[in-house]
Amino acid sequence: MKLKISQIIVLLFLASIAWQVNAQQFEASVDNTSVGQNERFQVYFTFSNADINKASNFIPPSFEGFRILSGPNQSSNMQIINGKVSGSLTYSYILQTQEMGSFAIGSASINCEGKNYTTETLNIKVTKASGNINQGDTNGGISNEDLAKNVFIVATADKQSVYQGEQISVTYKLYTRLNISSPQISKLPTYNGFWVEELETSNNISFDIEMYQGQRFRSAIIKKAALFPTKSGELTITPFELNVPVLIRRQRTSRDIFDDFFNDSFFGRTETIEFLAKSNQLKIDVKSLPEAGKPASFNGAVGDFNFSADVNKKSVETNESLTMKISIKGRGNIKLLDVPKINVPAGFEKFDPKVSENISRKGTVSGTKEVEYLVVPRIPGSKEIPAVEFSYFDPGKKKYISSKAGPFEIEVAKGAGNIEQSVSGFSKEDIKLLSQDIRYIKTSSFDLRRKRDYQVIPDWFWASLVIPLILFGAVIGIKRRQDKLHGNVQLLRYRKAEKLAKGRLKSAKKALDSKDLNKFYNELSLALYGYLEDKLNLQKADFTIDRAISKLHTLEVPGDLIEIVNKISERCEFARFAPKADGSEEAVSFYNESVQTIVNLENAIPKKKN
């Protein structure tokens, strides 16, 4: 079968793309494009995406205008995938500048499978000595200013101007040109005015080579967070601080031959300097949501969502339950979404909903939130559950979008379990039984006297009438009290705070028993924060630990108890980033302390009345 010319062109195009994806590359890079006079720097020539065993005949450039201190130093990285060998081969040089001016490092070349590859020219600017340290410096005596230029954190936000409720992704990246040990968190950034969702990152810090402002650094992402502003205006994100142990070579203290011997690079006599690295401060401009076109059903949802609602049955009998399921899927802060409430017709009983969430925190927060209402019809007939509407603001389209589902027609048939009372005539047996109860009036000469101890209607009959009335009155009283309590949302949250906290503490205990410390600290913080939100009447979107502590002071809660609350909050936050810092025994002790703290808060916060 002959191929058409257009098909041949397409095949050649696809083949060229595949060749480019797997093509060998030979690149040159430098750790600093601007170097001080007489300072050292490194140059790298890297051949990648090939079987490096077949690479040969590396020819370096002349390095005219520079002094070669070391090189070529060769390093390689190999991997085998599906039987195919590939990797990278790097030749590096340590050079020293001599004169000020602009210089060029020419092209290097290498041969692989009979084909020559060359690098591009590198331009280097040599300026007056600035005193900056670089990777080739092996002496101590480093100032904090020098350390700050070579070890630092950069905080970046993917957006500088957003709408209220729109996601901002903040990334914290550590840059270093020095040898460092395991950094430890000194101070976490504060996000006043934001709801925060931690984004997924690797548990292990992995460094890559990156050029930053003309210099070569090793960089690693140490933290990512999704922020959702809860108010408008200019909001500030404070710096992220790390304690970074920096390893430097110890200075020689004498000219003794043995001291020179042990200062040799092979033995690596080093000392550690603790350096506090801080990120930059970020400012975010948050715009208010527009009032024009805002639908009545809008309840603060911002993002891009799909809304659906349905019932599992359209035809039921009385006292037979049906389920109404509401689902919201999409991108945005799923955690804060308020799912629309449903209204049921008269004769229907609605129970508390079951809420489930499935949230993905990979880059953009997205997922699904589902609510299931259990509804039971009590009266037969054709009924209608009104339509349910959900509205959200789409920042990309800069407009409000509304979705509606329903109404839902429900046919309710009379259930087979209903009992109908009927009256029938007496049978012959009834008549015979009745004749046994007839007492004839005696016509003898005895006097007729009234019996005082005989009751026509017994006491149990009156009791059977009065007791149901009393019970009915009690049920009405309880129902009215519950209706009043549900009408007062603040009082309802206040009274349920301890009960909800106990449920979350049980989840934390299960996570602790299974030694899942990440989940344990997350559930423990949810228990404490949820209790404070309900007890202090703080909305989830506006909740911060500082605001909760301020309210506790207002309610005259003892200062030592408030301090314990603050310490528990900080420890939970730290544990989310360093879960291995605590052992199981310490976690058990911390759990008991947290439970006792919530009990003490319950006793210390003044009681609310109806």
Number of neighbours of residue 93 by Cβ within 10 angstroms: 22
DSSP state of 177: S
Q: Which CATH number fits domain 489-604: 3.90.580, 1.20.120, 2.60.40, 3.30.70?
A: 1.20.120
Per-residue pLDDT, averaged over 70-95, amounts to 72
Token duo for residue 401: 């979008």
DSSP state of 581: G
DSSP per-residue codes, 71-93: EEEEEEEEEEETTEEEEEEEEEE
Label residue 303 exposed, middle or buried (CB < 10 Å: 0-12, 13-18, 19+): buried
Q: What residues have CB less than 8 Å from 76, skipping those under 6 apart?
A: 52, 87, 88, 89, 90
Q: What is the pLDDT of residues 593-605, one digit of tens each?
A: 888 888 888 888 8
Distance CA 144, CA 479 (A): 70
Q: What percent of the chain has pLDDT over 90?
A: 20
Rg of the chain over all Cα atoms, to the nearest angstrom? 39
Q: Do domains 144-287 and 489-604 have the same CATH topology?
A: no
How far is CA 283 from each of CA 5, 186, 189, 387, 475, rounded to the nearest angstrom? 57, 22, 13, 42, 57
Q: What is the pLDDT of residues 299-313, one digit of tens each?
A: 889 999 999 999 998
Q: At what angle do helices 517-535 and 559-577 cross, to 10 degrees?
A: 140
Whole-number pLDDT of residue 400: 94
- The CATH code that applies to domain 144-287 is 2.60.40
Positive or negative, the Cα torsion across 267, 268, 271, 272? negative
pTM of the model: 0.51
Mean pLDDT score of the chain: 78
- The CATH code that applies to domain 303-413 is 2.60.40.740
Distance CA 408, CA 309 (A): 10
Under the banding of pLDDT at 50, 70 and 90, the label for residue 236 is very high
Give phi and psi for 444, each to the nearest 5: -70, 180
Give the CATH class of 22-127.
Answer: mainly beta
In the predicted model, is pLDDT for residue 29 greater than 80?
A: yes
DSSP per-residue codes, 52-66: GGGEEEEE----TTE
Under the banding of pLDDT at 50, 70 and 90, the label for residue 176 is very high
Question: Residue with structure tokens 């494009």?
Answer: 33
Whole-number pLDDT of residue 309: 93
How far is CA 594 from each of CA 293, 441, 454, 513, 588, rounded to the nearest angstrom? 47, 84, 69, 16, 10
Say if residues 179 and 147 touch (Cβ distance below 8 Å): no
Query: Which of 114-118, 189-193, 206-210, 484-488 is least confident?
Result: 484-488
Q: What is the pLDDT of residues 262-274, one digit of tens each?
A: 445 445 566 788 8
Whole-number pLDDT of residue 19: 40
Query: Which of 145-154, 456-465, 561-570 is least confident?
Result: 456-465
In the predicted model, is pLDDT for residue 126 greater than 80?
A: yes
What residues does each domain of the chain span? 22-127, 144-287, 303-413, 489-604
Whole-number pLDDT of residue 449: 56
Say if residues 598 and 528 touch (Cβ distance below 8 Å): yes
In the predicted model, is pLDDT for residue 183 greater than 60?
A: yes
Per-residue pLDDT, averaged over 45-74, amounts to 79
In the predicted model, is pLDDT for residue 132 greater than 50?
A: no
Tell me the CA end-to-end span of the chain in Å, nearest whole number. Answer: 87
